[in-house]
């Protein structure tokens, strides 16, 4: 009997060791992965936060939400080194929605007393034109070539948070208020496409990826621009949001807390990383490994992913940027799509 009990213990120990090895092969050694990935710092200004990067269609510039003290603006930067070029707008309503439209920038504004979508040159100078007048609470507005827009409509009861802080990270969190993806046409007519928020338009203008709240989780869905062919991309006990497309439309990069405590030591709800998944719902791949909050990805045509993060900045980077003391808050970082993803997408 004693012999059998010893064998059972030994077998159990072997199984435990085998499970540990498998877990390490999937997630890496806990001490090695916590602060290691290939991300590179792009922007760093003293007492400033740079968030929500958006790569320009020509691959030359970035738009960022820039916060310095009480001053907040949408800024244009050089994509190569993150260097500041000019303010596009400091309209407080623009922070909920700004985007590239060819060489110009669209943004929401209530400057005439009514919420509207406006467009102006990215260099910050020149005529500013109203594209379409809007009603109600709308954000994440995308202007289409025919003058219509795709946007997130938020049901009544939602209070727009214009007062931004350095931790303005969860822009998808609307509490218990419902939101919908809508298509609004130039004549003012509107078509509800689906429940959800944060719709991102594919480069060919044919597909949308967005998030839908499902109980305590939030997952990515995909559909055609007319609302047809709805399909679920992600699942599990996680919050998946801020999705964006690769140039070829085969990959989607997004923000998620699905990593949990497996290899970061950070609680499940607060460990935000970048992930990628194919448009077929396969090859789910983690892109960043860090205790910090990584989010709001934007993919340039060359496969570089730009995102904001409040991760720790090392002394070498501080010295190179001539920043004294420590640097906190959010800044723009870059990471390359893994070779696996680039090879798979080219097949």
- What is the SS3 assignment for 93? helix
The reported pLDDT for the residue numbered 325 is 64
Amino acid 263: pLDDT = 47
Q: Which domains does the chain have, with CATH numbers?
A: 48-345 (2.120.10.30)
Strand partners, 73: 66
Q: What is the pLDDT of residue 328?
A: 80
* 74 touches 98 (CB < 8 A): yes
CB 214 within 8 A of CB 226: no
pLDDT of the residue at 157:
57
pLDDT for 20 = 34
Kind of pairing between the strands at 207-214 and 294-299: unpaired
pTM, full prediction:
0.84
Tokens of 130: 């109203």
The number of CA neighbours under 13 Å toward the Cβ of 346 is: 9
Positions in the chain short of pLDDT 70: 1-36, 156-167, 174-176, 260-269, 325-326, 339-347
How far is Cα 144 from Cα 205, in angstroms, rounded to an integer?
Answer: 8
Query: What is the full DSSP assignment across 185-251?
Result: -TTS-EEEEEE-EEEEE-TTSSEEEEEEEETTEEEEEEEETTS-S-EE---SSSBEEEEEE-TTSSE
Rounded distance between C-alpha atoms, residue 109 and residue 131, angstroms: 11
pLDDT of residue 12: 42
User: Residue 166: left if φ>0, alpha if ψ -120 to 50, beta else—which one?
Assistant: alpha
In tens, the pLDDT along 222-257 reads 999 999 999 999 999 999 999 999 999 999 999 999
CA angle 77, 80, 82 (to 5 degrees): 40
pLDDT digits (tens, 9 = 90+) for 253-293: 999 999 864 444 444 567 899 999 999 999 999 999 988 99
The secondary structure element, H or E, covering residue 137 is: strand 137-143
Among residues 65, 83, 263, the alpha carbon closest in space to that of 164 is found at 65
Say if CB 67 and CB 166 are below 8 A apart: yes
């Amino acid at each position: 009997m004693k012999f059998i009990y010893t064998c059972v213990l030994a077998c159990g120990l072997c199984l435990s060791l085998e499970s540990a090895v498998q877990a390490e092969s999937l997630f890496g050694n806990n001490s090695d992965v916590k602060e290691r990935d290939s991300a590179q710092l792009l922007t760093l200004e003293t007492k400033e936060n740079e968030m929500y990067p958006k790569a320009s269609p020509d691959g030359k510039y970035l738009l960022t939400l820039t916060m310095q003290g009480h001053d907040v603006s949408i800024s244009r930067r050089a994509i190569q080194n993150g260097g500041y070029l000019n303010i596009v707008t400091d309209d407080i309503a623009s922070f909920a929605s700004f985007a590239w439209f060819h060489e110009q920038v669209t943004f929401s504004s209530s400057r005439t007393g009514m919420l509207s979508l406006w467009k102006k040159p990215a260099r910050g100078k020149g005529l500013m034109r109203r594209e379409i007048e809007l009603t109600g609470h709308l954000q994440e507005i995308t202007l289409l070539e025919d003058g219509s827009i795709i946007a997130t409509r938020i049901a009544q009861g939602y209070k727009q948070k214009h007062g931004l802080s350095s931790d303005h990270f969860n822009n998808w969190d609307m509490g218990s208020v419902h939101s919908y993806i809508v298509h609004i046409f130039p004549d003012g007519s509107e078509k509800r496409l689906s429940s959800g928020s944060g719709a991102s338009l594919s480069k060919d203008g044919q597909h949308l990826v967005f998030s839908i709240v499902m109980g305590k989780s939030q997952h990515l869905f995909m559909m055609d621009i007319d609302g047809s062919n709805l399909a679920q991309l992600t699942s599990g006990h996680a919050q998946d949001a801020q999705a964006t497309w690769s140039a070829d439309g085969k990959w989607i990069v997004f923000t998620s807390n699905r990593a949990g405590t497996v290899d970061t030591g950070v609680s499940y709800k607060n460990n935000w990383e970048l992930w990628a998944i194919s448009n077929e719902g396969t090859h789910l791949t983690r892109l960043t490994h860090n205790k910090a909050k990584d989010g709001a990805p934007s993919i340039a045509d060359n496969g570089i992913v730009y995102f904001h993060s409040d991760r720790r900045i090392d002394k070498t980077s501080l010295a190179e940027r001539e920043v004294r003391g420590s640097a906190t808050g959010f800044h723009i970082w870059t990471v390359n799509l893994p070779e696996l993803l680039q090879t798979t997408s080219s097949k």
